[in-house]
Chain A
Amino acid sequence: MTQSGIRKWSASRTILVVLVASVIAGSSVGFATSTAAKYQAPQTREINVFSYTLPFNDTLYRLPHDVFYPDRILVYKGDTVVIHFYNIDNGTERHSFTIDAPYNVNIDIPPQPYPSNATFVANVPGIFLYKCIYHTPTMEGYMEVLG
C-alpha cells in the first residue's frame, strides 16, 4: 500500500479501517493483560503444622484435647506443598498428619524435636480434611486447594 494510496482513502474507509484495527489490537492487549493478571504461577508452599494441646481435662469432657495449629491450609491448584509436621506433645503420644485420597499423605510420629515432612503436588482442587488418626474429631483441619 503506497503512501499516496492511503492518503486518497475516503473518510469512511479510513475511519472503518482504523476503528477495526485499533479495537482488535486494543482488545487483544486488554484480554492478554487480564489473563496475565489472573494467572498464578505454581509455587512451592512450605507449611509448618504443629500438634497442640488445649488446656482442658480430656477424660472429663470425653474428647481428645489435641488439635492442629494451623487448622486451615490454603494453596492453589498446581502448587507443590511441603508439610513440616511437628509433634510437640509433652508426653509420649503419637500424632499423625493424614490426608486421604487423592493425596494419600500420612506422617505418623512420636514426640520429637524436629519435623517429619511430606511433599505433594496439589493437583486436585477442593476442600480436603486432614486429621490425626489417634485424636479425631478434635485434631482435624482443612486444606483448601483453589482451582
Chain B
Amino acid sequence: MLRGGAILLMSALGVLDLAYGSLYAGGNYENIWYVMGAIYIVLAGVTALEIQPWLFQPTILGYSLFLFSAWLTSGVSRDPVAYSDKAIEIILAISMVQLIRISRSPRLLR
C-alpha cells in the first residue's frame, strides 16, 4: 500500500517535471527538469520491481529532500505547478521515511 503510493507519487513527479520542462521552463534550464523527471520515473520503476530496497529507499528519500532543499534556497520557479510538485515531493519523503522504518525494523532484518 505504502510502496504503491510512493510509486504513484514518483510517477506523478516524473510526469510533472517533464511537463514543466517542456511547457513552463521554456529555455530556462528546461533540461534540468527533464533530467529530474526521468530520474523519478526510473526510481519509480526500481521501487516497483523491488530492486535493492535497502539502497534505493534512502536514495529516493535523499533525492527528494535534495531537490526540495535546492528549490527552497534557490528562489527560482515560484508558481503553482512548482508548488504542487514540491508538495508531492514532501509527501513522497514522508512515505519513504515510513518505508525505511518498516523495512529496517529489527524484526525484518533478522
Genuine A/B complex: yes
Interface hits, B15-52 → A, CB 8 Å: none
Hey, which bits of chain B sit against chain A, CB under 8 A?
Answer: 54, 58, 61-63, 65-76, 97, 100-101, 103-106, 109
A92 beta carbon closer than 8 Å to chain B? no
Contact-residue size bin, chain A (C-beta under 8 Å from the other chain): 20 to 34
A11 beta carbon closer than 8 Å to chain B? yes
The reply to whether B65 and A27 form a contact with Cβ atoms under 8 Å apart is: no
The reply to whether A29 and B104 form a contact with Cβ atoms under 8 Å apart is: no
A19 beta carbon closer than 8 Å to chain B? yes
Nearest CB of B to A6, in Å: 8
A9 and B104 in contact, given A27-B70, A29-B70, A31-B73 (Cβ under 8 angstroms): yes
* Residues of B close to A21: CB separation below 8 A: 62
The reply to whether B75 and A34 form a contact with Cβ atoms under 8 Å apart is: yes
Which of A8, A17, A30 meets B70, CB within 8 Å?
A30
The chain A residue with its CB closest to the CB of B57 is A14
The chain A residue with its CB closest to the CB of B32 is A33
**Mask of A1-30 contacts with B, CB within 8 angstroms, 1/0:** 000001111110011011101110111011
The reply to whether B71 and A30 form a contact with Cβ atoms under 8 Å apart is: yes
Whole-angstrom distance between the alpha carbons of A67 and B46 in the complex?
71
Find the residue from B54, B62, B76, B100 having the highest chain A CB count within 10 A: B62
The reply to whether A7 and B97 form a contact with Cβ atoms under 8 Å apart is: no
A37 beta carbon closer than 8 Å to chain B? yes
The reply to whether B100 and A23 form a contact with Cβ atoms under 8 Å apart is: no
Whole-angstrom distance between the alpha carbons of A133 and B61 in the complex?
68
Whole-angstrom distance between the alpha carbons of A61 and B65 in the complex?
69
The reply to whether B61 and A18 form a contact with Cβ atoms under 8 Å apart is: yes
A26 and B66 in contact, given A31-B73, A34-B74 (Cβ under 8 angstroms): yes
Given contact pairs A19-B61, A21-B62, A34-B74, enumerate 14 new A-B contacts (beta carbons under 8 Å).
A15-B100, A18-B58, A18-B61, A19-B65, A22-B61, A23-B69, A25-B69, A26-B67, A26-B68, A26-B69, A26-B73, A27-B73, A29-B70, A37-B75
